[in-house]
Chain A
Amino acid sequence: MNHAEIDQYSTRSRWYRFDPRVKLACVVGLVLVAALTRDLASLLLLFAFSSALVLASGVPLRHLRSVLALAAPFVVFPALALLLTNGPLPALAMALRVAASVLALAVLTTTTPMFHLLRALRWYRMPALLSSLVLFTYRFIFVLLDELERMSLARRARGFTGRGHLLSREVFRTLSFTAGMTFVRAHARAMRIYDALLARGYSGEVRTLSELRAGPRDVAFIVMFLTIGALSVLLQTGALT
Protein backbone atom coordinates (compact mmCIF):
# COMPACT_ATOMS: atom_id res chain seq x y z
CA MET A 1 0.00 0.00 0.00
CA ASN A 2 1.20 3.51 -0.74
CA HIS A 3 1.58 6.09 2.00
CA ALA A 4 2.58 9.72 1.77
CA GLU A 5 6.08 10.06 3.23
CA ILE A 6 7.54 13.40 4.12
CA ASP A 7 10.99 12.47 2.74
CA GLN A 8 9.89 10.58 -0.36
CA TYR A 9 11.44 13.13 -2.78
CA SER A 10 14.49 13.88 -0.64
CA THR A 11 17.03 11.96 -2.72
CA ARG A 12 15.97 13.81 -5.87
CA SER A 13 16.16 17.22 -4.26
CA ARG A 14 18.83 19.85 -4.87
CA TRP A 15 19.65 20.09 -1.18
CA TYR A 16 19.95 16.31 -0.66
CA ARG A 17 23.75 16.09 -0.87
CA PHE A 18 24.33 18.77 1.77
CA ASP A 19 25.41 17.57 5.21
CA PRO A 20 22.29 17.05 7.35
CA ARG A 21 24.05 18.53 10.41
CA VAL A 22 24.71 21.73 8.49
CA LYS A 23 21.14 21.89 7.19
CA LEU A 24 19.73 21.26 10.66
CA ALA A 25 21.90 23.93 12.32
CA CYS A 26 21.19 26.51 9.59
CA VAL A 27 17.44 25.95 9.64
CA VAL A 28 17.24 26.03 13.45
CA GLY A 29 19.30 29.23 13.34
CA LEU A 30 16.90 30.78 10.82
CA VAL A 31 13.91 29.85 12.97
CA LEU A 32 15.56 31.47 16.00
CA VAL A 33 16.32 34.66 14.08
CA ALA A 34 12.71 34.76 12.79
CA ALA A 35 11.38 34.23 16.32
CA LEU A 36 13.41 37.17 17.65
CA THR A 37 12.75 39.56 14.73
CA ARG A 38 9.99 42.17 14.84
CA ASP A 39 10.89 44.31 11.87
CA LEU A 40 8.57 43.75 8.91
CA ALA A 41 11.27 44.22 6.23
CA SER A 42 13.51 41.80 8.04
CA LEU A 43 10.70 39.22 8.26
CA LEU A 44 9.92 39.75 4.57
CA LEU A 45 13.54 39.01 3.75
CA LEU A 46 13.45 35.78 5.82
CA PHE A 47 10.17 34.76 4.21
CA ALA A 48 11.52 35.44 0.71
CA PHE A 49 14.69 33.48 1.49
CA SER A 50 12.76 30.46 2.83
CA SER A 51 10.44 30.56 -0.19
CA ALA A 52 13.44 30.67 -2.53
CA LEU A 53 14.93 27.64 -0.73
CA VAL A 54 11.66 25.76 -1.18
CA LEU A 55 11.36 26.64 -4.87
CA ALA A 56 15.00 25.78 -5.57
CA SER A 57 14.78 22.45 -3.72
CA GLY A 58 13.28 20.61 -6.68
CA VAL A 59 10.70 18.90 -4.46
CA PRO A 60 7.38 18.73 -6.38
CA LEU A 61 5.03 21.53 -5.30
CA ARG A 62 2.18 19.00 -5.03
CA HIS A 63 4.11 17.20 -2.29
CA LEU A 64 5.11 20.46 -0.57
CA ARG A 65 1.49 21.60 -0.64
CA SER A 66 0.39 18.57 1.34
CA VAL A 67 3.24 19.05 3.84
CA LEU A 68 2.52 22.77 4.25
CA ALA A 69 -1.23 22.19 4.57
CA LEU A 70 -0.52 20.42 7.88
CA ALA A 71 1.34 23.50 9.13
CA ALA A 72 -1.22 26.03 7.81
CA PRO A 73 -3.19 26.29 11.11
CA PHE A 74 0.01 27.35 12.90
CA VAL A 75 0.33 30.27 10.49
CA VAL A 76 -3.34 31.25 10.24
CA PHE A 77 -4.60 31.07 13.84
CA PRO A 78 -1.91 33.16 15.60
CA ALA A 79 -2.11 35.74 12.80
CA LEU A 80 -5.90 35.85 13.08
CA ALA A 81 -5.70 36.26 16.85
CA LEU A 82 -3.29 39.18 16.46
CA LEU A 83 -5.42 40.74 13.71
CA LEU A 84 -8.37 40.84 16.08
CA THR A 85 -6.39 42.11 19.08
CA ASN A 86 -3.43 44.19 17.80
CA GLY A 87 -4.25 45.14 14.23
CA PRO A 88 -3.02 44.19 10.75
CA LEU A 89 0.75 44.89 10.97
CA PRO A 90 1.51 42.69 14.00
CA ALA A 91 -0.71 40.03 12.39
CA LEU A 92 1.24 40.25 9.14
CA ALA A 93 4.53 40.10 11.06
CA MET A 94 3.35 37.00 12.91
CA ALA A 95 2.19 35.33 9.67
CA LEU A 96 5.54 36.07 7.98
CA ARG A 97 7.50 34.89 11.04
CA VAL A 98 5.71 31.54 11.30
CA ALA A 99 5.53 31.04 7.51
CA ALA A 100 9.29 31.66 7.11
CA SER A 101 10.01 29.14 9.90
CA VAL A 102 7.59 26.54 8.53
CA LEU A 103 9.00 26.86 5.01
CA ALA A 104 12.57 26.47 6.28
CA LEU A 105 11.58 23.40 8.29
CA ALA A 106 9.76 22.02 5.25
CA VAL A 107 12.99 22.40 3.26
CA LEU A 108 14.86 20.49 5.94
CA THR A 109 12.37 17.64 6.28
CA THR A 110 11.53 17.17 2.59
CA THR A 111 15.12 17.25 1.34
CA THR A 112 16.72 15.10 4.07
CA PRO A 113 15.87 11.41 4.50
CA MET A 114 14.50 10.86 7.98
CA PHE A 115 17.35 8.50 8.82
CA HIS A 116 19.98 11.15 7.95
CA LEU A 117 18.10 13.71 10.01
CA LEU A 118 18.15 11.36 13.00
CA ARG A 119 21.88 10.80 12.56
CA ALA A 120 22.38 14.56 12.56
CA LEU A 121 20.29 14.86 15.74
CA ARG A 122 22.32 12.05 17.28
CA TRP A 123 25.50 13.95 16.37
CA TYR A 124 24.07 16.91 18.30
CA ARG A 125 23.84 14.58 21.33
CA MET A 126 20.21 13.54 21.09
CA PRO A 127 19.93 10.56 23.51
CA ALA A 128 20.48 7.18 21.76
CA LEU A 129 17.27 5.75 23.20
CA LEU A 130 15.21 8.64 21.83
CA SER A 131 16.77 8.50 18.36
CA SER A 132 16.23 4.69 18.20
CA LEU A 133 12.63 5.22 19.27
CA VAL A 134 12.00 7.79 16.53
CA LEU A 135 13.82 5.61 13.99
CA PHE A 136 11.70 2.56 14.71
CA THR A 137 8.51 4.60 14.94
CA TYR A 138 9.17 6.02 11.48
CA ARG A 139 10.05 2.58 10.06
CA PHE A 140 7.04 0.80 11.54
CA ILE A 141 4.37 3.46 11.24
CA PHE A 142 3.89 2.28 7.64
CA VAL A 143 3.59 -1.36 8.74
CA LEU A 144 0.97 -0.29 11.28
CA LEU A 145 -0.89 1.77 8.68
CA ASP A 146 -0.95 -1.27 6.39
CA GLU A 147 -2.41 -3.35 9.23
CA LEU A 148 -5.07 -0.69 9.89
CA GLU A 149 -5.92 -0.65 6.20
CA ARG A 150 -6.27 -4.44 6.16
CA MET A 151 -8.50 -4.34 9.25
CA SER A 152 -10.63 -1.67 7.62
CA LEU A 153 -11.00 -3.82 4.49
CA ALA A 154 -11.91 -6.84 6.64
CA ARG A 155 -14.60 -4.76 8.41
CA ARG A 156 -16.05 -3.59 5.12
CA ALA A 157 -15.90 -7.12 3.64
CA ARG A 158 -18.20 -8.21 6.46
CA GLY A 159 -20.76 -5.50 5.96
CA PHE A 160 -19.50 -2.70 8.23
CA THR A 161 -20.23 0.60 6.52
CA GLY A 162 -19.25 3.06 9.26
CA ARG A 163 -22.39 5.03 8.48
CA GLY A 164 -23.94 6.93 11.32
CA HIS A 165 -22.23 9.23 13.76
CA LEU A 166 -19.29 8.20 15.93
CA LEU A 167 -21.49 8.03 19.00
CA SER A 168 -23.70 5.41 17.37
CA ARG A 169 -23.36 2.38 19.64
CA GLU A 170 -22.45 -0.08 16.87
CA VAL A 171 -19.97 2.19 15.08
CA PHE A 172 -18.34 3.17 18.38
CA ARG A 173 -18.10 -0.46 19.48
CA THR A 174 -16.49 -1.62 16.22
CA LEU A 175 -14.00 1.23 16.08
CA SER A 176 -13.03 0.83 19.73
CA PHE A 177 -12.43 -2.91 19.16
CA THR A 178 -10.25 -2.01 16.17
CA ALA A 179 -8.25 0.45 18.29
CA GLY A 180 -7.79 -2.20 20.99
CA MET A 181 -6.72 -4.80 18.45
CA THR A 182 -4.23 -2.32 16.98
CA PHE A 183 -2.59 -1.90 20.38
CA VAL A 184 -2.44 -5.66 20.90
CA ARG A 185 -0.90 -6.23 17.45
CA ALA A 186 1.54 -3.35 17.88
CA HIS A 187 2.68 -4.80 21.20
CA ALA A 188 3.13 -8.30 19.75
CA ARG A 189 5.09 -6.87 16.83
CA ALA A 190 7.25 -4.76 19.16
CA MET A 191 8.19 -7.93 21.07
CA ARG A 192 9.13 -9.72 17.84
CA ILE A 193 11.16 -6.76 16.60
CA TYR A 194 13.03 -6.65 19.90
CA ASP A 195 13.86 -10.36 19.52
CA ALA A 196 15.09 -9.68 15.98
CA LEU A 197 17.25 -6.82 17.25
CA LEU A 198 18.80 -9.03 19.94
CA ALA A 199 19.35 -11.82 17.41
CA ARG A 200 21.61 -9.49 15.43
CA GLY A 201 23.66 -8.28 18.36
CA TYR A 202 21.74 -5.14 19.40
CA SER A 203 22.95 -3.85 22.74
CA GLY A 204 21.23 -0.50 23.16
CA GLU A 205 22.34 1.66 20.26
CA VAL A 206 21.72 1.57 16.52
CA ARG A 207 25.05 2.10 14.77
CA THR A 208 25.62 2.74 11.09
CA LEU A 209 28.57 2.52 8.78
CA SER A 210 28.64 5.72 6.79
CA GLU A 211 30.11 8.80 8.42
CA LEU A 212 28.74 12.29 8.07
CA ARG A 213 31.15 14.51 6.14
CA ALA A 214 30.88 18.23 5.52
CA GLY A 215 32.50 19.67 2.38
CA PRO A 216 33.01 23.01 0.62
CA ARG A 217 29.39 23.10 -0.54
CA ASP A 218 28.29 22.94 3.10
CA VAL A 219 30.50 25.93 3.87
CA ALA A 220 28.72 27.80 1.03
CA PHE A 221 25.37 26.76 2.55
CA ILE A 222 26.41 28.14 5.96
CA VAL A 223 27.68 31.39 4.39
CA MET A 224 24.34 31.81 2.58
CA PHE A 225 22.38 31.44 5.83
CA LEU A 226 24.81 33.65 7.77
CA THR A 227 24.47 36.40 5.15
CA ILE A 228 20.69 36.34 5.32
CA GLY A 229 20.79 36.19 9.12
CA ALA A 230 23.19 39.16 9.28
CA LEU A 231 21.07 41.18 6.85
CA SER A 232 18.00 40.39 8.89
CA VAL A 233 19.68 41.52 12.13
CA LEU A 234 20.95 44.69 10.46
CA LEU A 235 17.43 45.50 9.21
CA GLN A 236 16.04 44.82 12.66
CA THR A 237 18.56 47.11 14.35
CA GLY A 238 18.01 49.82 11.75
CA ALA A 239 21.67 49.83 10.64
CA LEU A 240 20.64 49.68 6.98
CA THR A 241 18.08 52.51 7.10
Chain B
Amino acid sequence: MNAIQLNDVSYTYDDGSVALRDINIAIDRGERVALVGPNGAGKSTLLHLMSALYIPTSGRVVIEGEEVTRRTAEKARLNVGFLFQDPDDQVFMPRVYDDVAFGPINLRLGPEEVRLRVEQAIAMAGIRGYEERAPHHLSFGEKKRVAIAGILAMRSPILLLDEPTANLDPQGRRDLVNILESQEGKTMVLATHDLSVAFELTDRVIVLKRTVLYDGSIRGLVERPDILAEARLELPSVPRLMERWMQRTGRAGPLPLTIDEALAALDGCAPRS
Protein backbone atom coordinates (compact mmCIF):
# COMPACT_ATOMS: atom_id res chain seq x y z
CA MET B 1 0.00 0.00 0.00
CA ASN B 2 1.12 3.55 -0.66
CA ALA B 3 2.01 5.71 2.30
CA ILE B 4 1.24 8.86 0.32
CA GLN B 5 -0.62 9.20 -2.93
CA LEU B 6 -1.41 12.38 -4.89
CA ASN B 7 -3.73 12.24 -7.90
CA ASP B 8 -4.01 15.25 -10.23
CA VAL B 9 -3.31 17.60 -7.33
CA SER B 10 -3.22 21.35 -7.89
CA TYR B 11 -2.86 24.07 -5.29
CA THR B 12 -3.55 27.78 -5.67
CA TYR B 13 -2.92 30.28 -2.89
CA ASP B 14 -5.58 32.79 -1.79
CA ASP B 15 -3.84 35.56 -3.78
CA GLY B 16 -4.36 33.53 -6.97
CA SER B 17 -0.78 32.36 -7.46
CA VAL B 18 -0.60 28.77 -8.65
CA ALA B 19 1.91 26.85 -6.54
CA LEU B 20 1.39 23.36 -7.96
CA ARG B 21 -0.50 21.83 -10.85
CA ASP B 22 -1.33 18.29 -11.96
CA ILE B 23 0.85 16.50 -9.46
CA ASN B 24 0.72 12.70 -9.56
CA ILE B 25 2.97 10.97 -7.05
CA ALA B 26 2.74 7.65 -5.24
CA ILE B 27 5.17 6.88 -2.44
CA ASP B 28 5.36 3.35 -1.03
CA ARG B 29 5.58 2.59 2.66
CA GLY B 30 9.19 2.64 3.81
CA GLU B 31 10.37 4.44 0.66
CA ARG B 32 12.81 7.36 0.92
CA VAL B 33 12.30 10.10 -1.63
CA ALA B 34 14.15 13.34 -2.28
CA LEU B 35 12.16 16.33 -3.47
CA VAL B 36 14.37 18.80 -5.32
CA GLY B 37 13.83 21.92 -7.37
CA PRO B 38 14.67 25.62 -7.54
CA ASN B 39 13.44 28.19 -5.04
CA GLY B 40 9.72 28.78 -5.47
CA ALA B 41 9.22 25.38 -7.14
CA GLY B 42 6.48 24.43 -4.66
CA LYS B 43 8.47 21.95 -2.53
CA SER B 44 7.25 23.35 0.79
CA THR B 45 3.67 23.60 -0.52
CA LEU B 46 3.84 19.95 -1.59
CA LEU B 47 5.09 18.93 1.87
CA HIS B 48 2.21 20.90 3.44
CA LEU B 49 -0.21 18.95 1.23
CA MET B 50 1.46 15.65 2.13
CA SER B 51 1.11 16.49 5.82
CA ALA B 52 -2.60 17.42 5.52
CA LEU B 53 -1.88 20.99 6.62
CA TYR B 54 -3.19 22.20 3.25
CA ILE B 55 -6.20 20.81 1.41
CA PRO B 56 -5.66 20.64 -2.38
CA THR B 57 -7.53 23.11 -4.58
CA SER B 58 -8.26 20.16 -6.87
CA GLY B 59 -7.30 16.50 -6.96
CA ARG B 60 -6.90 13.90 -4.20
CA VAL B 61 -4.32 13.43 -1.48
CA VAL B 62 -4.39 10.05 0.29
CA ILE B 63 -2.29 9.46 3.42
CA GLU B 64 -2.01 5.91 4.77
CA GLY B 65 -5.10 4.88 2.82
CA GLU B 66 -7.34 7.75 3.89
CA GLU B 67 -8.25 10.67 1.65
CA VAL B 68 -7.45 14.06 3.16
CA THR B 69 -10.50 16.27 3.52
CA ARG B 70 -11.28 19.08 5.98
CA ARG B 71 -12.98 16.47 8.16
CA THR B 72 -10.15 13.91 8.10
CA ALA B 73 -7.15 16.30 8.07
CA GLU B 74 -6.68 16.38 11.86
CA LYS B 75 -6.41 12.57 12.07
CA ALA B 76 -4.27 12.34 8.92
CA ARG B 77 -1.71 14.78 10.41
CA LEU B 78 -0.95 12.34 13.22
CA ASN B 79 0.45 9.88 10.64
CA VAL B 80 3.01 12.44 9.56
CA GLY B 81 6.01 13.95 11.35
CA PHE B 82 6.87 17.26 9.69
CA LEU B 83 10.27 18.88 10.24
CA PHE B 84 9.99 22.56 9.36
CA GLN B 85 12.86 24.45 7.77
CA ASP B 86 13.25 26.94 10.64
CA PRO B 87 13.30 25.20 14.03
CA ASP B 88 12.14 28.43 15.70
CA ASP B 89 8.77 27.85 14.00
CA GLN B 90 8.53 24.37 15.41
CA VAL B 91 10.08 24.49 18.87
CA PHE B 92 7.40 26.56 20.56
CA MET B 93 7.37 25.38 24.16
CA PRO B 94 9.49 27.24 26.72
CA ARG B 95 11.35 24.09 27.84
CA VAL B 96 12.92 21.38 25.66
CA TYR B 97 11.31 18.48 27.57
CA ASP B 98 7.81 19.96 27.22
CA ASP B 99 8.37 20.60 23.54
CA VAL B 100 9.35 16.99 22.83
CA ALA B 101 6.37 15.80 24.92
CA PHE B 102 3.91 18.11 23.13
CA GLY B 103 3.05 15.67 20.28
CA PRO B 104 2.74 12.47 22.39
CA ILE B 105 0.48 14.29 24.89
CA ASN B 106 -1.77 15.37 22.00
CA LEU B 107 -1.91 11.71 20.92
CA ARG B 108 -3.67 11.18 24.29
CA LEU B 109 -1.06 8.67 25.47
CA GLY B 110 -0.67 7.83 29.15
CA PRO B 111 1.99 9.69 31.18
CA GLU B 112 4.34 6.66 31.35
CA GLU B 113 4.19 6.12 27.59
CA VAL B 114 4.78 9.85 26.99
CA ARG B 115 7.83 9.81 29.31
CA LEU B 116 9.22 6.71 27.58
CA ARG B 117 8.79 8.20 24.12
CA VAL B 118 10.30 11.53 25.15
CA GLU B 119 13.34 9.87 26.70
CA GLN B 120 13.90 7.67 23.64
CA ALA B 121 13.45 10.57 21.21
CA ILE B 122 15.82 12.76 23.23
CA ALA B 123 18.43 9.97 23.17
CA MET B 124 17.98 9.39 19.42
CA ALA B 125 18.34 13.09 18.65
CA GLY B 126 21.44 13.33 20.87
CA ILE B 127 20.11 16.03 23.18
CA ARG B 128 20.39 14.33 26.58
CA GLY B 129 21.04 16.98 29.22
CA TYR B 130 19.05 19.62 27.31
CA GLU B 131 15.69 18.74 28.90
CA GLU B 132 15.43 21.79 31.17
CA ARG B 133 16.92 24.27 28.69
CA ALA B 134 14.92 27.09 27.11
CA PRO B 135 14.90 26.91 23.28
CA HIS B 136 16.01 30.53 22.86
CA HIS B 137 19.27 29.62 24.60
CA LEU B 138 20.12 26.94 22.03
CA SER B 139 22.12 27.19 18.81
CA PHE B 140 20.42 26.66 15.45
CA GLY B 141 21.75 23.10 15.22
CA GLU B 142 20.61 22.27 18.75
CA LYS B 143 17.14 23.65 18.05
CA LYS B 144 17.01 21.51 14.91
CA ARG B 145 17.74 18.41 17.01
CA VAL B 146 15.01 19.38 19.47
CA ALA B 147 12.60 19.75 16.54
CA ILE B 148 13.60 16.28 15.29
CA ALA B 149 13.15 14.80 18.77
CA GLY B 150 9.67 16.37 18.80
CA ILE B 151 8.63 14.52 15.65
CA LEU B 152 10.42 11.26 16.51
CA ALA B 153 8.52 11.14 19.82
CA MET B 154 5.26 11.01 17.85
CA ARG B 155 6.46 7.82 16.10
CA SER B 156 4.63 8.73 12.92
CA PRO B 157 5.17 6.25 10.08
CA ILE B 158 5.88 9.11 7.65
CA LEU B 159 8.58 11.78 8.02
CA LEU B 160 8.50 14.93 5.91
CA LEU B 161 11.64 17.04 6.11
CA ASP B 162 11.83 20.56 4.71
CA GLU B 163 15.45 21.50 3.97
CA PRO B 164 16.71 19.52 6.97
CA THR B 165 20.38 20.37 6.47
CA ALA B 166 19.98 24.07 5.59
CA ASN B 167 22.13 26.41 7.75
CA LEU B 168 23.78 23.55 9.64
CA ASP B 169 27.54 23.37 10.09
CA PRO B 170 29.28 20.27 8.60
CA GLN B 171 29.22 18.32 11.88
CA GLY B 172 25.58 19.27 12.48
CA ARG B 173 24.74 18.12 8.97
CA ARG B 174 26.53 14.81 9.51
CA ASP B 175 24.76 14.25 12.85
CA LEU B 176 21.41 14.94 11.24
CA VAL B 177 22.07 12.54 8.35
CA ASN B 178 23.01 9.84 10.90
CA ILE B 179 19.79 10.42 12.87
CA LEU B 180 17.71 10.16 9.71
CA GLU B 181 19.60 7.09 8.50
CA SER B 182 18.78 5.34 11.78
CA GLN B 183 15.03 5.66 11.11
CA GLU B 184 14.57 2.29 9.47
CA GLY B 185 11.23 1.39 7.96
CA LYS B 186 9.89 4.93 7.94
CA THR B 187 8.60 6.59 4.82
CA MET B 188 10.70 9.69 4.28
CA VAL B 189 10.25 12.64 1.94
CA LEU B 190 13.11 15.09 1.99
CA ALA B 191 12.87 18.51 0.31
CA THR B 192 16.39 19.76 -0.29
CA HIS B 193 18.80 21.68 -2.48
CA ASP B 194 21.59 19.52 -1.15
CA LEU B 195 21.91 16.68 -3.67
CA SER B 196 24.67 15.01 -1.69
CA VAL B 197 22.22 14.49 1.20
CA ALA B 198 19.66 13.20 -1.29
CA PHE B 199 22.27 10.75 -2.67
CA GLU B 200 23.09 9.52 0.82
CA LEU B 201 19.60 9.12 2.19
CA THR B 202 17.31 8.33 -0.73
CA ASP B 203 17.04 6.13 -3.81
CA ARG B 204 14.38 8.05 -5.64
CA VAL B 205 14.24 11.69 -6.61
CA ILE B 206 11.36 13.90 -7.69
CA VAL B 207 12.28 17.11 -9.46
CA LEU B 208 9.64 19.75 -9.00
CA LYS B 209 9.00 23.05 -10.73
CA ARG B 210 5.34 23.69 -10.00
CA THR B 211 4.78 20.34 -11.72
CA VAL B 212 6.77 17.11 -11.69
CA LEU B 213 9.71 17.39 -14.13
CA TYR B 214 11.28 14.08 -13.25
CA ASP B 215 10.43 11.13 -11.01
CA GLY B 216 12.87 8.26 -10.91
CA SER B 217 16.24 7.02 -9.74
CA ILE B 218 19.05 9.35 -8.79
CA ARG B 219 21.28 7.73 -11.37
CA GLY B 220 18.65 8.42 -14.01
CA LEU B 221 18.57 12.09 -12.99
CA VAL B 222 22.35 12.38 -13.31
CA GLU B 223 22.00 11.30 -16.92
CA ARG B 224 19.47 14.07 -17.64
CA PRO B 225 21.46 17.32 -17.87
CA ASP B 226 18.39 19.04 -19.38
CA ILE B 227 16.39 18.40 -16.17
CA LEU B 228 19.33 19.42 -13.97
CA ALA B 229 19.63 22.69 -15.87
CA GLU B 230 15.91 23.46 -15.83
CA ALA B 231 15.69 22.79 -12.08
CA ARG B 232 18.89 24.81 -11.50
CA LEU B 233 20.52 21.83 -9.79
CA GLU B 234 24.21 21.18 -9.50
CA LEU B 235 25.76 17.78 -8.92
CA PRO B 236 27.78 17.46 -5.72
CA SER B 237 31.60 17.69 -5.81
CA VAL B 238 32.29 13.94 -5.95
CA PRO B 239 30.28 13.12 -9.13
CA ARG B 240 31.47 16.37 -10.77
CA LEU B 241 35.09 15.45 -10.06
CA MET B 242 34.57 11.89 -11.26
CA GLU B 243 32.82 13.15 -14.40
CA ARG B 244 35.89 15.27 -15.24
CA TRP B 245 38.22 12.38 -14.40
CA MET B 246 36.29 10.00 -16.64
CA GLN B 247 36.35 12.52 -19.50
CA ARG B 248 40.12 13.01 -19.12
CA THR B 249 40.95 9.35 -18.83
CA GLY B 250 38.42 8.32 -21.48
CA ARG B 251 36.75 5.88 -19.13
CA ALA B 252 33.19 4.76 -19.68
CA GLY B 253 30.61 3.34 -17.31
CA PRO B 254 28.25 4.61 -14.65
CA LEU B 255 29.24 7.86 -12.98
CA PRO B 256 30.27 7.32 -9.33
CA LEU B 257 27.91 9.35 -7.15
CA THR B 258 29.21 8.80 -3.64
CA ILE B 259 32.67 8.72 -2.05
CA ASP B 260 32.46 4.91 -1.76
CA GLU B 261 31.56 4.52 -5.43
CA ALA B 262 34.33 6.93 -6.42
CA LEU B 263 36.89 5.02 -4.34
CA ALA B 264 35.77 1.75 -5.90
CA ALA B 265 36.19 3.24 -9.40
CA LEU B 266 39.62 4.66 -8.56
CA ASP B 267 40.73 1.43 -6.85
CA GLY B 268 39.85 -0.47 -9.99
CA CYS B 269 42.31 1.51 -12.11
CA ALA B 270 45.09 2.44 -9.67
CA PRO B 271 48.47 0.79 -10.27
CA ARG B 272 49.22 -1.68 -7.47
CA SER B 273 52.61 -1.46 -5.83
Contact = CB atoms under 8 A, between A and B. Distances in A.
Interface string A130-156: 000001101110110000000000000
A195 B53 contact: yes
B77 interface: yes
Given A198-B77, A199-B82, A202-B106, A138 B89 contact: no
A76 interface: no
B222 to A, nearest CB: 33
B242 interface: no
A195 B53 CA distance: 7
B48 interface: yes
Which of B53, B81, B90, B92 has the most C-beta atoms of chain A within 10 angstroms of its own C-beta? B92
A200 B94 contact: no
A115 B98 contact: yes
Contacts of A5: 134
A201 interface: yes
A112 to B, nearest CB: 12
A196 B150 CA distance: 11
Contacts of A142: 136
Contacts of A198: 53, 74, 77
B191 interface: no
Interface stretch (A203-211, A217-225, A226-234): A203-211
Nearest to A205: B106
Nearest to A209: B101
B86 interface: yes
A115 B90 CA distance: 17
Nearest to B82: A199
A139 B84 contact: no
A10 to B, nearest CB: 11
Interface residues of A, number: 29
B78 interface: yes
Instruction: Name, among B78, B81, B84, B94, the residue most crowded by chain A CB atoms within 10 Å (CB to CB).
Output: B94
Interface string B37-66: 000000000001001010000000000000
A115 B103 contact: no
B84 A196 contact: yes
Given A136-B92, A192-B86, A143 B136 contact: yes
Interface stretch (B107-115, B229-237, B261-269): B107-115
Interface in B92-134: 92-95, 98, 101-103, 105-107, 111, 114-115, 118, 132, 134
B135 A209 contact: no
B80 interface: yes
Nearest to A191: B89
B106 A207 contact: yes
A209 B106 contact: no
B90 A196 contact: yes
Given A139-B93, A139-B136, A200 B53 contact: no
A114 interface: yes
B92 to A, nearest CB: 6
Given A143-B136, A209-B101, A115 B95 contact: yes
A45 to B, nearest CB: 36
A189 interface: yes
A54 B154 CA distance: 42
B11 to A, nearest CB: 14
A197 interface: yes
Contacts of A202: 102, 106
Contacts of B88: 140, 143, 189
A192 B84 contact: yes
A11 interface: yes
Given A139-B92, A193-B89, A193-B92, A209 B105 contact: yes
Contact of A200 (B95, B134, B136, B154): B154
Interface of B: 48, 51, 53, 74, 77-78, 80-82, 84, 86, 88-90, 92-95, 98, 101-103, 105-107, 111, 114-115, 118, 132, 134-136, 150-151, 154
Given A3-B136, A139-B93, A209-B111, 4 more contacts: A192-B86, A195-B89, A199-B53, A203-B106
7 contacts: A114-B94, A139-B93, A192-B84, A198-B77, A200-B150, A201-B77, A208-B98
